[in-house]
Amino acid sequence: DGGITQSPKYLFRKEGQNVTLSCEQNLNHDAMYWYRQDPGQGLRLIYYSQIVNDFQKGDIAEGYSVSREKKESFPLTVTSAQKNPTAFYLCASKTTGGGTDTQYFGPGTRLTVL
Amino acid sequence: GQNIDQPTEMTATEGAIVQINCTYQTSGFNGLFWYQQHAGEAPTFLSYNVLDGLEEKGRFSSFLSRSKGYSYLLLKELQMKDSASYLCASVNSGYSTLTFGKGTMLLVSP
């Protein structure tokens, strides 16, 4: 089946540790995105990538890093510099044909930092 | 920049009709999406509007007025499973990213 996978569904880490969230897609989409969602908040863009080996900062990139070495994969690292890392993290992808292209979302990873 | 406003919460009764509004202020308009998100799950695509008017898809319809910077999502024949958060998102200039509103939590009661 084609789709976007994120693992794990739930992740717990101690304060001060870096943690990497995985996102894989087999939809042959060029663009991939990472969002953060906090209770009662909309989705806020962390990083996005429109092509392999290139990515851009979103609205809240501080304390996060990404890589895009393969078209299918866009891992997000939450570093110890991120002051409030506990949140629901969503990955999305789409083609880059134009504005009508819909972003499709993975199931999300809920990160809790203790 | 982009600014999107939608009500925080709405309640409705099973079988009824509900309209969820979204207003936006953008520096360049390239279209507007509606997504549905159940608690703890991924958002799923409902509709996309770029031209003025109403787009109907079964029980769900979406309306856009570009001159007023206004959209709404209309849900008919409400079912319990429609209890979810509904996210409005505008397409940013360059077409590469979306700006999301905070979402409207809809609670459908028996």
- pLDDT tens digits along B50-71: 999 999 999 999 999 999 999 9
Contact across the interface for A90 and B45, Cβ inside 8 Å: no
Tell me the nearest-neighbour CA distance from A99 into chain B, angstroms. Answer: 5
- Rounded Cα distance between A48 and B66, Å, is 27
| Residue B14 one-letter amino acid | E
Q: Is B80 helix (H, G, I), strand (E, B) or coil?
A: helix
- Rounded Cα distance between B45 and A102, Å, is 7
Contact across the interface for A43 and B44, Cβ inside 8 Å: no
Find the CB nearest B101 among A33, A42, A100. A42
Q: Which residue has the higher pLDDT, A31 or A95?
A: A31
| Beta carbons of B107 and B48 less than 8 angstroms apart | no
Q: How many helices (H) and strands (E) does chain B have?
A: 0, 11
| DSSP class of A70 | B
Tell me the nearest-neighbour CA distance from A76 into chain B, angstroms. Answer: 17
What's the pLDDT at B94?
A: 74
| pLDDT tens digits, A23-69 | 999 999 999 999 999 988 889 999 999 999 999 999 999 999 999 99
How many C-beta atoms surround the C-beta of residue A44 within 10 A? 16
Contact across the interface for A42 and B44, Cβ inside 8 Å: no
- Rounded Cα distance between A4 and A13, Å, is 24
Q: Is A111 helix (H, G, I), strand (E, B) or coil?
A: strand
Residues of B in contact with A110 (CB under 8 A): 40
How do the residues of chain B divide into helix, strand and coil, expressed in percent and rounded to 5?
Answer: 5, 60, 40
For chains A and B, CB pairs below 8 A equal 55
Residue A105: both structure tokens together: 């979302």
What's the pLDDT at A100?
A: 64
CA atoms within 13 A on the CB side of A67: 7
* B30 near A CB under 8 A: yes
Beta partners for residue B62, in sequence order: B55, B73
Find the CB nearest B97 among A48, A100, A108. A48
The CA-based dihedral angle spanning residues A4, A8, A10, A11, taken in that order and rounded to the nearest 10 degrees: -130
**B64-85: average pLDDT:** 96
Residue A46: both structure tokens together: 């962390």
